[in-house]
């Protein structure tokens, strides 16, 4: 089922989202990415979210949920988010096996929906994965899906979720791996004034900019953080993070990034890539 309808918000109240991204989980709980046990850092993020008692209506997982392409890593992800008790929607990143996810996620109780209809808003989940390469590309099928959703719901504001960054973040090594046909996306969004937000993962850092009335936001990973404005591969010592977003009935968006304290999940500083 590609489309689901959810009740959330109401009156002047916003729709409240939790974004988690780039969990990079392994089949084994001990699996490490550059010295960080990714299941441990993700669990610490989830524990912090629970401790905050922040209200959210649904969870968006914007790709790179796995690091080893295994069914067990997706089962692990589902087991870990289940205690939050909220619907989870996802899209694949370059480290995922998208076709495998589409097959197994429903078995783990996670919807394969690509369009989430909410009061006054819709959330669209796009696949930018290109088999075996790190950069992103919106294939014609994804572009036509996006166009169809935007044109058929003119009364809803739209959040477009995808893994890859549309705009460069200023890191030479990382910006080689951005969304290669971002100009096609911008051209399409320019025809639909209700497009409000493009939300991504991939860059393992927070960015927030506006282009022609659309916000473009990226968020920290729940494991390793990439050093901003870095020519070569570099790791940041900031803690794993997550993001809340509030979508208001008048089209406004508010958002907050939270992180675990520095020093709890410090990656291997000698790493030269991943």
95 in a known ligand binding site: yes
Closest CB to Fe ion among residues 147, 268: 268
Inter-residue contact 8 to 118 (CB < 8 Å): yes
64 carries a ligand binding annotation = yes
Least spacing, CB of residue 128 vs Fe ion, in Å:
13
- Find all residues with CB under 8 Å of 111, minimum gap 6, and list them: 1, 4, 87, 88, 89, 105
**94 assigned ligand-binding residue:** yes
Applying CB under 5 A, which residues contact Fe ion?
22, 64
Minimal distance, residue 190 CB to Fe ion, in Å:
28
94: which DSSP letter?
Answer: T
> Which CB, 122 or 205, lies closer to Fe ion?
205
Q: Which residues contact 63 (CB under 8 A, 6 or more apart)?
A: 21, 22, 90, 91, 92, 93, 94, 95, 96, 129, 162, 163, 201, 202
Nearest CB to Fe ion, comparing residues 66 and 158: 66
Identity of the residue, 21 or 158, whose beta carbon is nearer to Fe ion in the bound complex: 21
Is 204 annotated in a binding site? The answer is yes
177 assigned ligand-binding residue: no
CB of 163 to Fe ion, least distance (A): 8
Distance of CA 180 to the CA centre of its chain: 18
202 is in an annotated binding site: yes
CA distance 63 to 60: 9
Q: At its nearest, how many Å lie between Fe ion and the CB of residue 23? A: 9
CB 18 within 8 A of CB 244: yes
164 is in an annotated binding site: no
Query: In the structure encoding, which two tokens stand for residue 171, read together?
Result: 């890191």
Determine whether the annotation assigns residue 268 to a binding site: no
Minimum distance, C-beta of residue 21 to Fe ion, in the bound complex (Å): 8
Distance of alpha carbon 32 from alpha carbon 87, whole angstroms: 27
| Cβ nearer to Fe ion, comparing 139 with 177 | 177
CA dist., res. 163 & res. 169, Å (int): 14
β-partners of residue 43 are none
Q: Give the shortest CB-102-to-Fe ion separation in angstroms.
A: 19
Q: 19 or 122: whose CB is closer to Fe ion?
A: 19
* 99 to 19, 131, 147: CA distances (angstroms): 22, 11, 23
41 sits in which H/E element = helix 38-52
Binding site for AMP: residue ranges?
A: 24, 64, 94-95, 204
Binding site for Fe cation: residue ranges?
A: 22, 24, 64, 94, 163, 202, 204
Binding site: residue ranges?
A: 22, 24, 64, 94-95, 163, 202, 204
């Amino acid at each position: 089922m590609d489309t689901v309808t959810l009740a959330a918000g109401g009156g002047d109240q916003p729709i409240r989202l939790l974004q988690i991204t780039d969990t990079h989980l392994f089949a084994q709980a001990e699996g490490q990415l550059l010295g960080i046990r990714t299941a441990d850092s993700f669990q610490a993020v989830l524990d912090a979210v629970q401790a905050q008692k922040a209200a959210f209506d649904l969870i968006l997982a914007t790709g790179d949920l796995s690091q080893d392409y295994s069914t067990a890593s997706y089962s692990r992800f589902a087991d870990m988010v289940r205690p939050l008790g909220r619907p989870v929607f996802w899209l694949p990143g370059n480290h995922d096996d998208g076709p495998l996810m589409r097959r197994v996620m429903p078995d783990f109780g996670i919807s394969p929906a690509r369009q989430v209809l909410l009061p006054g808003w819709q959330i669209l989940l796009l696949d930018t994965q290109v088999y075996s390469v790190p950069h992103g590309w919106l294939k014609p099928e994804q572009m036509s899906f996006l166009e169809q959703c935007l044109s058929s719901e003119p009364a809803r504001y739209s959040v477009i979720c995808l893994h890859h960054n549309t705009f460069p973040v200023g890191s030479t090594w990382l910006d080689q791996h951005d969304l290669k046909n971002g100009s096609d996306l911008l051209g399409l969004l320019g025809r639909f004034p209700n497009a409000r937000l493009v939300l991504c993962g991939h860059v393992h850092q927070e960015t927030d900019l506006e282009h022609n009335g659309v916000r473009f936001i990226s968020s920290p990973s729940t494991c390793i953080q990439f050093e901003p404005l870095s020519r070569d591969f570099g790791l940041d010592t900031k803690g794993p993070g997550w993001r809340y977003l509030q979508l208001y009935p008048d089209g406004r968006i508010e958002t907050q990034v939270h992180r675990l304290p520095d020093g709890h999940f410090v990656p291997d500083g000698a790493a030269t890539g991943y």
